[in-house]
Amino acid sequence: MNERMESLALSFHGLARASGVQPFDPEKLDAWASGPAPGHGALCAARFVLSVWNERAPWRSGHFDAMEALGCWDAEHRKAFVDWAAAPWWP
């Protein structure tokens, strides 16, 4: 399942260099997103990936908000989200 989570995270270009993406480690990704993340789009992408992993966890980086994310994501990030949403899956 970690390979699938890595693939999902890597579909968001803002997470390409994020800690906790490869190999997938949700705690490391959350810590990275809680720090000085590269931008709001990357933060929203990390929150989304973490919510797919466990939407009920109290992530330090915050809760995923689709409207917030869609408002700040570029076309590539929106495409990654829409691709997942077209055939959603959870670990």
Q: What is the pTM of this model?
A: 0.96
Torsion from C-alpha of 38, 43, 48, 52, nearest 10 degrees: 80
For the segment 37-83, what is each residue's pLDDT rounded down to a tens digit? Answer: 789 999 999 999 999 999 999 999 999 999 999 999 999 999 999 99
Domain edges within the chain: 2-86
Q: Which of 45, 50, 87, 53 is nearest to 69 (CA)?
A: 45
